[in-house]
Amino acid sequence: MTQPIIATMQKSAPIRVLGIDPGSQRTGVGIIDVLADGRTQHVHHQPLVLLGEESFPLRLRKLLDGLWALIEQYQPDEVAVEQVFLSNNAMSALKLGQARGAAVAACVARDLPVSEYAAKEIKLALVGSGGADKAQVQHMVGAMLGLSGKLQADAADALAVAITHAHVRASAQRLGVAERLAWGRKGRGRR
């Protein structure tokens, strides 16, 4: 008599995603695990406070050191970064761009793949509207990750970037396409 063959599903390890919301005064970081079934679990979040340094270059150094310490401690597999939005203040936009560049460089220096998402894409992924306000995004982040209490804005935005990346990854896997193709124009903004 033949025994029925029972297919066993191998559990794959969670994918750990580091989300980054760049800022020249505070950079939000949020870390989640993406489970094999697509669910997300909160791991860590915090703002990296960059103020208090003598000069802007020292703020960038503090950002690099902070991200490297988090990367070493939490060992993320992938990174998602919010893209810079245009600002009316050229100096603010320049500093934000430099902070974002430092954050991306910190991650690629550790051989981590970096994906980039526009603020409208993040809002659309979490709330269903690209015009959602920060309070709506913070509420959805808390609800999706089972967090209680008010989240610090920069850290909540970083978690939102990580969740967006998890959604794009899941869509790509379901569709059997590269992540670059999973969400419309994603191929143009990724590196």
159 — pLDDT class (breaks 50, 70, 90): very high
Residue 33 annotated as catalytic? no
Residue 154 annotated as catalytic? yes
- The whole-number average pLDDT for the span 20-45 is 94
pTM across the whole model: 0.85
CATH superfamily of 15-182: Ribonuclease H-like superfamily/Ribonuclease H (3.30.420.10)
Please report the pLDDT score of residue 189 as a whole number: 42
Please report the pLDDT score of residue 11 as a whole number: 58
Domain boundaries, the chain: 15-182
Looking at 33, 82, 157, 179, which residue is catalytic? 82
Amino acid occupying residue 167: H
- Region of 146 on the Ramachandran plot (φ > 0 left; ψ -120 to 50 alpha; else beta): left
Looking at 33, 78, 121, 154, which residue is catalytic? 154
Residue 21 annotated as catalytic? yes
Helices (H), 17-152: 56-74, 90-108, 119-127, 134-145
Looking at 21, 78, 116, 121, which residue is catalytic? 21
